[in-house]
């Protein structure tokens, strides 16, 4: 939204609530200023004050923390009067930028990039053209339900189809862990079976970390999830939230360098504070399905950020 807001002469303030106000967004400030927009953050954190108009040109962007601002620039710069070149250093989550590029193409906007996704060339004065569009089902949210089926019974999730979303790799992880997985063009069915430890690099799909921790707790042996550094600057420090929260439920979980190690064993259960993070709350709820005493989740309404009907859907699986 910062890049889009910077297209306008009117000033905007972009803010949030809870843990979003602690999220690092400093990479936005210098980049928008380089494109002649005004931008000021609160010492690198929200709120962000933005005033345009944004101009085209050459801009360097740090993509190591998040790909989201890169996507924002790719959406906004085609509407500028000048051509632009976005040079990205250390881009993570390339698949999400690839999704943005395809989406813009679907609406008649052309973005060209090199093979490493480090340089994007954007012509100015482009026009978005309206059309009908089918939005893909959300693999990030579906991953929690698919894990629930894998550890506690059976689930069918509809309106999921193969695409560019990196979180569809949840399917391969579930299969590696021994769950029974059946997929079609429009749905995925997962059934519980004897689960074994798995190893997965979540660097390009960091939103899978929370549901995979819940899965690992139900697997025999030591599971390893790589890419811990990618989850420290989310709605919470997810590495710390998962470590402290799941230890409180009885999990044998540790962080070693850039990887998280979980030795599977039945959880005792207990209480967990998700730190205002929707994905931590959903992971705890899924883990509760195979705990001895269940889990009490404080501030559970944080799930409404991405999945307002999560608890209703989870309850429907238990009827």
Q: Which residues are catalytic?
A: 207
Residues 75 and 4 sit within 8 Å (Cβ to Cβ) = yes
Could you tell me how many helices (H) and strands (E) the chain has, helices first?
10, 16
The rounded distance, in Å, linking the Cα atoms of 279 and 140 is 9
Q: How far is CA 69 from the centre of its chain?
A: 14
| Greatest Cα pair distance in the chain | 62
DSSP annotation string for 2-34: HHHHTTSSSEEEE---GGGGGS--HHHHHHHHH
Residues 314 and 295 sit within 8 Å (Cβ to Cβ) = no
The bridge status of strand 222-226 relative to strand 199-201 is parallel
Q: Give the up-direction half-sphere exposure of residue 225: CA atoms within 13 A in the CB hemisphere.
A: 32
- C-beta neighbour count of 15 within 10 angstroms: 11
- C-beta neighbour count of 182 within 10 angstroms: 10
First-to-last C-alpha distance (Å) of the chain: 41
Residues 165 and 196 sit within 8 Å (Cβ to Cβ) = no
């Amino acid at each position: 939204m910062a890049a889009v807001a910077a297209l306008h002469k009117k000033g905007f303030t972009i803010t949030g609530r809870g843990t979003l106000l602690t999220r690092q967004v400093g990479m936005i400030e210098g980049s928008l200023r380089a494109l002649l927009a005004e931008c000021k953050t609160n010492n690198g954190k929200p709120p962000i004050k933005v005033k345009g108009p944004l101009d085209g040109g050459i801009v360097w962007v740090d993509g190591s923390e998040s790909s989201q601002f890169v996507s924002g620039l790719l959406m906004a710069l085609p509407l500028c009067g000048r051509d632009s070149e976005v040079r990205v250093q250390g881009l993570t989550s390339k698949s999400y930028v690839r999704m943005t590029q395809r989406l813009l193409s679907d609406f008649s906007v052309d973005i060209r990039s090199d093979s490493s996704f480090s340089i994007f060339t954007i012509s100015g004065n482009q026009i978005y053209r309206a059309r009908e569009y089918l939005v893909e089902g959300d693999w990030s949210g579906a991953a929690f339900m698919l894990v629930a089926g894998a550890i506690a019974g059976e689930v069918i999730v509809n309106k999921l189809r193969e695409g560019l979303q990196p979180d569809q790799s949840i399917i391969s992880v579930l299969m590696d862990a021994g769950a029974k997985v059946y997929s079609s063009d429009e749905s995925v069915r997962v059934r519980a079976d004897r689960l074994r430890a798995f190893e997965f690099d979540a660097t390009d799909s960091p939103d899978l970390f929370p549901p995979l921790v819940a899965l690992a707790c139900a697997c025999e042996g030591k599971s390893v999830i790589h890419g811990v550094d990618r989850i420290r600057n989310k709605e919470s420090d997810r590495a710390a939230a998962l470590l402290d929260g799941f230890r409180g439920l009885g999990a044998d979980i540790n962080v070693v360098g850039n990887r998280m190690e979980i030795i599977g064993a039945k959880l005792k259960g207990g209480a967990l504070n998700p730190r205002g993070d929707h994905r931590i709350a959903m992971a705890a709820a899924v883990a509760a399905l195979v705990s001895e005493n269940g889990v009490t989740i404080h501030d559970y309404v944080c799930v409404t950020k991405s999945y307002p009907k999560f608890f209703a859907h989870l309850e429907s699986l238990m009827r």
